[in-house]
Chains A and B, each alone.
Chain A
Amino acid sequence: MAAHLTAAGVPPARVLVLWCPEWPVPPDPDAARTFEQVVSLVEDLCPKVEVLWPGACAIGARGPARYFGGEEALAGKIVEAVTGGGFACQAGIADGLFAAQLAARAATPVTVVPPGQAREFLAPYPVSVLDGADLDGEGMTELLPRLGIVTLGDLARLPASQAVNRFGVAGGIAHRLARGLDPRPLAARPPSADLSVSTEFDPPAPLAEPVVFAAKALAERMHAGLAARGLACVCVQVQAISEDGQEHARLWRHDGLLSALAVAERVRWQLAGWRPDGPRDPDGPGDPDGPKDEANLGGIVLLRLTPDQVVRAHGRQLGLWGDAVVSDRVARAALRVQAMLGHGAVTRPVPAGGRGPAEQATLVPFGDARDPERPPDRPWPGRIPVPVPATVCQDPLPARVTDAAGAPVTVTGRARLSAPPARMSAGGGPWLAITAWAGPWPVAERWWRPQTARRRARFQLVTEDGTAWLAAVQDGHWQIEARYD
């Protein structure tokens, strides 16, 4: 063992990573729910499973490997069990999580990197694999190849001080990773104080939404407690106890530091995936259609968050509100409504660029970062003219527009009308005479991308009741896009 003890510290613990290549990225709640079955299968063999993200999980390999008679045997058993459950998977064992993740991806189906060989194993990988480690290192992986550092081996050969000098904390972490070490030195001693936070629900919370909301506040409290001691957590254990006494605990990992919203999102995934009856056998009785929905949980009475892996904080700000403008009073009101209706129910509009009325604003859930998808300060030729409509249909309303003879009005590819529009009916409503109209204004958008390309011709119509409409014809169908209320 002593042979690979280096001046930089002890080598990281042996880690096994199980990776299911077929899981969707980014994860959705359904995927998280199904992945719970994989975790259950792994848990049958080794108790402490850490979910990296839905699609990959990690376990400490040392103890289980001794029990099962070797690392290859352990990895083989796990892959066999999970494959037997109907999920394709690969496993990798190496020193430290980073190397084990890459080993899992290299595996067919099992790769074991011998102890002390992580650096050699990592050396041929391009530095771009560091992107997966979520380092915050502003464009580091793009810059390194231009400096002639193409592989992790090249990076590991640099003196550590150089990497830190040039790229700061992220550079230091990348350098440690490249050398096959743990990204951060572990905190020297376990935290003496109890840093876990919990909340009780009385009466029990039958729905996931209030629990998720409480988790957001809990996570903030936990972060505050950690921050007061100069610590930060890399791993968090989410423990939920239901009304009938069942307990469900899961370790969640987030490379880099967790934000309160990220924790709440993981609590949501965990609750969505919780099957209170607990059968792991897909053919077992009482579980005919896979996961139960949350109504069967029987109410949550306790939620506890425990920071599981604690490292020294490197001074990253955990800002829940990116925007200092929001006063406490407004934030409290918005949070209360979010607790009632869900995170996405309270939004703030962000002006965005676009031609159609619906594209000119993005609605961002309160508390999320407010970055417009499309910059509003571009010209957007062909956008609808000012004044803009006050009522924008969320889904365009199907409409019928006819000429004086009652025949549907059509527009040719060269934007020529078959006849002047005379009457219209929106969404199956009454027929109204058209007193004034303008158009067609042809719009051909994103013709370079067949999936999102569309060609339409817009019209403004004024009907006898004084209402003005923004209508569009696409593929011969009339739609109401907005109303000038």
Chain B
Amino acid sequence: MFDIVRMGTGISQVRRLAGEGNCNGVSPTDGPLPGYEALLASGALPVLPALGELLPGGLARGSVVAAGRWSLLCLALAAGASVAGAWCAVAGVPQLGVSAAACVGLDPARMLLVADPGTAWPQVVASLLDGCELVLLRPPGHAPAQVRRRLEAVLRRCGGVLVVAGDWDGAQARLLVTRQEWAGIEAGHGRLRARRVLVAADGRGAAARPRTQWLWLPAPDGSVGLADQVLSEMQDAG
């Protein structure tokens, strides 16, 4: 099926994130990072280099990014800001894999988790947005228009970014995993080593042009990297 050796070129883009620590022995860097002041002043939160093609301007402050369903993609979207020193809150995801989050670049030392925001989740998210630059939310159901408008107003006021694991009408950017293939595992041997996903992005305004991108999500070391498109076409042909 897959030849892990030939895929090396695609993996070469993988970057080491989140300090010196390896994937499981995370070494949180205490204190704001050097670029933190610049981050506070800029109009957008940075994204991981691998997502740069999909979100050219980063995550615009005050915007909502919908990421389909709960997956590693949501964590990858939040990771760029966390690497830059921002605080991230995760609401409504009790089953969050903290190690996986650390691997894609989220710093556990700058994370707040609200596993169950309950029925008052809009208020909880609004409070979290006051303190954190980025809030990753899995809403308990479809958000009514009134709730959405209120939260979007809070977003604009405090200049945060809301990453929604689910659907959000009127989101400024929308990312979706349309295909996924696991590498390294076959019937009875090998193990899960990496996953190649095709991510499609569209949105409104500056992000209106639809884009697609093959990504390693996760790459063999748990991080996020660009996957080789040529290889995927070869794969399709073969």
Chain B residues in 8 Å Cβ range of A468 = 182, 185, 192, 195
Contact A438 B191 (CB under 8 A): yes
Contact B71 A485 (CB under 8 A): yes
Number of A-B contacts (CB under 8 A): 176
A117 in contact (CB, < 8 A): no
Residue of A350, A351, A361, A387 touching B221 (CB-CB under 8 A)? A387
Chain A residues in 8 Å Cβ range of B9 = none
A201 in contact (CB, < 8 A): no
Interface string of B121-155 (1 = CB under 8 A from A): 00110011111100000000000000000000000
Known: A330-B132, A340-B120, A438-B189. A390 touches B101 (CB 8 A): yes
Interface string of A323-338 (1 = CB under 8 A from B): 0110101111110110
Contact A345 B25 (CB under 8 A): no
Known: A340-B124, A387-B218, A388-B100. A345 touches B109 (CB 8 A): no
Which of chain B's residues has its CB closest to A422's CB?
Answer: B187
Contact B114 A350 (CB under 8 A): no
Task: Contacts A437-B187, A468-B192 known; list 9 others, CB within 8 Å.
Answer: A330-B87, A337-B127, A341-B117, A341-B124, A347-B114, A348-B108, A386-B222, A390-B101, A466-B181
Residue of A348, A387, A462 touching B111 (CB-CB under 8 A)? A348
Known: A337-B127, A438-B190. A391 touches B70 (CB 8 A): yes
Which of chain B's residues has its CB closest to A461's CB?
Answer: B185
Known: A333-B127, A385-B191, A387-B220. A348 touches B112 (CB 8 A): yes
A-B contact pairs, 13 of them (CB 8 A): A330-B112, A333-B89, A340-B127, A349-B111, A357-B97, A360-B99, A386-B220, A387-B194, A387-B222, A394-B95, A420-B187, A482-B97, A485-B69
Contact A485 B70 (CB under 8 A): yes
Interface centre among B72, B95, B101, B192 (most CB of A within 10 A): B192
B179 to chain A, nearest CB (A): 8
Residues 148 to 195 of chain B near chain A (Cβ within 8 Å): 179-182, 185-195
Chain A residues in 8 Å Cβ range of B201 = none
Instruction: Point out residues on B near A: beta carbons under 8 Å.
Output: 23-26, 28, 30-31, 69-72, 75, 87, 89, 94-103, 108-118, 120, 123-124, 127-132, 179-182, 185-195, 218-222
Contact B191 A388 (CB under 8 A): no
Residue of A357, A366, A394, A436 touching B187 (CB-CB under 8 A)? A436
Interface centre among B23, B31, B115, B129 (most CB of A within 10 A): B115
Contact B99 A357 (CB under 8 A): yes
A360–B108 Cα gap in the complex (Å)?
A: 12
Residue of B114, B180, B219 touching A466 (CB-CB under 8 A)? B180
Which of chain A's residues has its CB closest to B186's CB?
Answer: A436
Contact B191 A330 (CB under 8 A): no
A168–B72 Cα gap in the complex (Å)?
A: 52
Known: A333-B127, A436-B187. A387 touches B26 (CB 8 A): no
3 closest pairs, A vs B, by CB? A333-B131, A361-B98, A387-B218
Contact A386 B187 (CB under 8 A): no
A409 to chain B, nearest CB (A): 12
Contact A341 B114 (CB under 8 A): yes
A477 in contact (CB, < 8 A): no
Residue of A330, A348, A360, A387 touching B192 (CB-CB under 8 A)? A387
A460 in contact (CB, < 8 A): yes
Interface string of A376-388 (1 = CB under 8 A from B): 1100100101111
Chain B residues in 8 Å Cβ range of A350 = 108
Contact A329 B130 (CB under 8 A): yes
A484 in contact (CB, < 8 A): yes
A230–B230 Cα gap in the complex (Å)?
A: 72
Contact A392 B115 (CB under 8 A): no
A393 in contact (CB, < 8 A): yes
Interface centre among A324, A337, A377, A482 (most CB of B within 10 A): A337
Contact A332 B130 (CB under 8 A): yes
B29 to chain A, nearest CB (A): 9
Contact B113 A334 (CB under 8 A): no
A376–B218 Cα gap in the complex (Å)?
A: 21
Residue of A329, A345, A389 touching B100 (CB-CB under 8 A)? A389
Known: A325-B31, A437-B188, A460-B191. A388 touches B112 (CB 8 A): no
Residues 284 to 338 of chain A near chain B (Cβ within 8 Å): 324-325, 327, 329-334, 336-337
A345–B113 Cα gap in the complex (Å)?
A: 8
Contact B24 A376 (CB under 8 A): yes
A363 in contact (CB, < 8 A): yes
A212 to chain B, nearest CB (A): 17
Interface string of A470-485 (1 = CB under 8 A from B): 0000000000001011
Contact B23 A388 (CB under 8 A): yes
A46 in contact (CB, < 8 A): no
A81 in contact (CB, < 8 A): no
Chain B residues in 8 Å Cβ range of A376 = 24-26
Interface string of A444-476 (1 = CB under 8 A from B): 000000000000000010100010100000000
Known: A348-B108, A350-B108, A390-B75. A337 touches B98 (CB 8 A): no
Contact A390 B187 (CB under 8 A): no
Residue of A325, A331, A389 touching B109 (CB-CB under 8 A)? A325
Interface string of A227-247 (1 = CB under 8 A from B): 000000000000000000000
Chain A residues in 8 Å Cβ range of B117 = 337, 341
Contact B187 A351 (CB under 8 A): no
